[in-house]
Amino acid sequence: MSEAGRVPSPATPLVVAAAAPEERKGKEPEREKLPPIVSAGAGATAGLDRGAKGQISTFSSFISAISPKKEAAENRSSPAHLVFPNIKNVRDQPPICLDVRQKQRVSMDASSSEMKAPVLPEPILPIQPRTMKDFQEDVEKVKSSGDWKAVHDFYLTTFDSFPELNAAFKKDATASFNTIEDSGINAKFVNAVYDTLLNTPQDIQKTVLKGIINSLLREWKGPRTKDDLRAYFILLQIILKIENVNFDCHCFVIFTRLSQKRFKQLVERLLQFISLRLFPAKPEEFPPLTKCSWWIPSAAKVLALLNTANNLVHLPLIPYTDFYNSTLDHIDLMEEYHTWQNFGNSHRFSFCQYPFVISIAAKKIIIQRDSEQQMINIARQSLVDKVSRRQRPDMNMLFLNMKVRRTHLVSDSLDELTRKRADLKKKLKVTFVGEAGLDMGGLTKEWFLLLIRQIFHPDYGMFTYHKDSHCHWFSSFKCDNYSEFRLVGILMGLAVYNSITLDIRFPPCCYKKLLSPPIIPSDQNIPVGICSVTVDDLCQIMPELAHGLSELLSHEGNVEEDFYSTFQVFQEEFGIIKSYNLKPGGDKISVTNQNRKEYVQLYTDFLLNKSIYKQFAAFYYGFHSVCASNALMLLRPEEVEILVCGSPDLDMHALQRSTQYDGYAKTDLTIKYFWDVVLGFPLDLQKKLLHFTTGSDRVPVGGMADLNFKISKNETSTNWLPVAHTCFNQLCLPPYKSKKDLKQKLIIGISNSEGFGLE
C-alpha cells in the first residue's frame, strides 16, 4: 500500500506527522505493543505501524524530515499550500485496485479560498532559554539530588507556546524553513529532551502532556508560518510517542473545549490526511515509503484521542458517523481484518485496530465475508465427513434446512434449531410442511416475519411492549425454561448472518448489553449481558419512570419525608405484587437526600440487568452461538442495531432510481403518478409504504438499492387496493387512471394493513 505524501502546509493545521523519519543511530528502545483494538484510554497511545518497516523511529529522525521536499523556485517567505480536496465521502467510487489507482487520483490542482491561510510575517522568537549543555547538566544533577524541579520548569516553559518551542530547538532563529536534508532544528537537543521525558516520573509526564495539548488548542487557529508548522509537528509527535502514561479523563476532555465546528474540522482534516496518503495524487512528490510508513498510524492515534474525548462527554460534539472514512471502503478490507486477527499484538498496523474510522458499510462487508468463509468451512467439513464414512454426499448437507409447520411455528422452529445446532453457520433454507416451493430467499424472509410477529405478540408474554417508547423489553416473569429467549437470540444472529433485516424494536441499551462482552467468555461463570446503565438508558424504555427518578434526584426538599421510599422495587407478576430489595435490608433503609443517587442507580440496574438476567443471558448465548466472530468487536451498539434492523434514514429518490418494474415501464403514466405521490408523502406515510411492501420501515445497510424493490402490474380492476408481497419486496399496482385515485387507494392500503390482511 502506498503511503507516500506531501508535507502539509501551514494552511492545514492538524495534518499530523506529515514528515518522514530517518533511522536513528543505535538501537531504538522497544516500544509498547498494541492491543488488538485501541480502547478509550491506553489505546490512544498504542504504537502501530504497517509491517516490518513500521518500527517507531526516534524523535530526531522525525524532526529531520518535517520540511517540504524542495523549496519553491521563487524566493518567497510563505510556505507552499497543500490543498485537501473533499474526499471523505467517496462511496460512489468503484473499488480501487492496485493496477488502476493511478487512473483514479484525486485532483489537487484547485483549492478553495477558505482553505488557504493568509501569509503572515515570521514572528520574533524569544531568547533561547537553555542550551543543550545546560539541560544535560540539569539532568545530571537530578541523578544525585532527585529533584526534578529545574527539568520540570524547562518542559513547562518550552512547550508553553510555538515561539518558545522554536526558540528552544531551532538552530538559528533567523533561518528559513529548510529542506528534507536540513530541517533547521537541533535534532540532537530534541532527542535528548524527548528521551529524558520518557524517564521522568508519571506526574511530570502527565503535566507536560496536558501542557502540550493546551498549547495545541491555544494555537488551533492554525500554524500560519513555517516555524508554526515545525512546532506543531514537534508537539504532535511528543503526544504520540510518550509511553507508559495512564491517560486520565482530563487529558481527553481538554479536546472538548474546542467548539463543535473546530472539533469537526480537526477530525475531517485527519481523515483527509489518511485518504491522501492511501491514494496520493502525485506519489513522486512524497518522501520514500520507508520514511513515511508511520504517517497513517500516527493520524489514527490522534483520531483515537479525539474519538475518546467525543465519547466521554454527555452530548458528543459530533456524531460517531463523522469519524467514518469512506475511502477505506475501497481498500482490501479482509486483508486488514486478517492482519488484525493474526498480528493484533504486534507492530503490524491495521485499520481494524481503530474500528471507529471504518464505516458501517465496510464493517458489514467484513462480517458478511467472514460469515461466508465460516459457512464454506462448515459445509466443507460436512462433505469431508460424509466421504470419509463412504456415504453419498447430499446437497442438503450444505445448508441449515428448516422444516416447520405454520400451525406450530414457534415449537417447530425451536426443535429444529436445537437439533441442528451444529449447522447454524450454514446457509439458511426454509420449507413449510405441506407446501410446494423452493426457497430462493422469499420463504426464509417469510419465516422470519411470521416468527418474529408471533414471538413479540403481547399475548405470548415473552416481551412487554411500551407504548411511550414504541419498543419491546424483556419480561421479568420467572419461568423454568428460557429456551425461547435463546431462540430469539438465534433468530437475530441468523438475520445478521444471512443479511436479513428484521422488524424488531429493541431499545439501544439492548445492543449495548449484547456486546457485553462482544465475545463469549471461556469461563462460564463470568456473567454476560451486564453493562453499566443510567437513567438515560431507562428513559429509552420507560420514559415516565425515568422522569420520576430524575425528579427525585433534582428534588430540593426533604426526600425522605416527601417521597417516603425505601430501597425496594415492587413488580406485578401474574396479578401478584412482589417486592425485591435493592440491597441487603433495603426494606428498612429509607431513601434520603444523601443516598438518593445510590437508590436511582440500584433501581435502574435492577430493572435493566438483574431482574431479567436469565432471560437476557439465554438471548445473549443464542445470538453469539451464530455470530461467534471477532468481527463483532469492531461494532458499536448502534451499529449492531443497524445490522439487525436497518437504518431509519429514508431516501425515496434512491429507491426510485433502483426500483425494478414488471409489466410497467418507468415512463408509464401510472408509474409517474406513483412517484409523484410517494415523493410528496410526509415521512410517516413513506415509512408505512416501506413497511407495507417490505415488512420493515427501515433500510438495509447497503441503502435502498439493497432492497431490490419491484413494482408489478396487477391486471385487476382499478377499484382494488394495491397488494404487497413482503417476502419479495414487491408491490402489485393496478393501472390507476388518475393520480388522485392512485393516492387515495395507496393511502388506504398502507394505513390499514396489518400482517397479511386489513385491520
Residue 524 contacts by C-beta under 8 Å, 6 or more apart in sequence? none
In the block, residue with C-alpha cell 519553491: 72
Q: Using the structure block, give the residue that is written with the C-alpha cell 518535517.
A: 66
pLDDT at position 498 is: 80
Instruction: Evaluate whether the domain defined by 368-515 bears CATH number 3.40.50.970.
Output: no
Amino acid 212: pLDDT: 66
Count of other CB atoms within 10 angstroms of residue 102: 9
| Residue whose entry in the numeric block shows the C-alpha cell 413513506 | 686
Catalytic residues: 727
Q: Where are the domains positioned within the chain?
A: 132-323, 368-515, 535-627, 646-752
Task: Please give the pLDDT value at position 124.
Answer: 56
Cα-based angle 220, 225, 226 (whole degrees, multiple of 5) = 115
Q: Do 177 and 70 contact (CB within 8 A), yes or no?
A: no
At what angle are helices 613-626 and 483-497 packed, to 10 degrees?
30
- What pLDDT score does 63 carry? 35
Cα separation, 720 vs 459, in Å, equals: 33
Q: Which residues of the chain have pLDDT under 50?
A: 1-120, 177-181, 220-224, 242-250, 755-759
Q: Checking DSSP bridges between strand 463-466 and strand 471-474, what pairing results, if any?
A: antiparallel
Q: Which class in CATH covers the domain with range 646-752?
A: alpha beta
Sign of CA dihedral 506, 509, 515, 520: negative
The CATH code for residues 535-627 is 3.30.2160.10
Among 749, 721, 743, smallest CA distance to 677 is for 743
Three cell numbers, residue 556: 430540593
- Give how far Cα 348 sits from Cα of 34, 46, 404, Å: 9, 12, 48
Separation in Å, CA 110 to CA 93, 106, 161, 279: 20, 11, 33, 17
Task: Tally DSSP H helices, then E strands, for the chain.
Answer: 27, 12
Cα pseudo-dihedral 426, 432, 436, 442, rounded to 10 = -60
The per-residue pLDDT for 548 is 93
C-alpha cell at 476: 421479568
Q: What digits encode the pLDDT tens for the residues 161-181?
A: 767 777 777 776 555 544 444
The strand pairing partners of 389, in sequence order, are none
Cβ atoms of 19 and 233 closer than 8 Å? yes
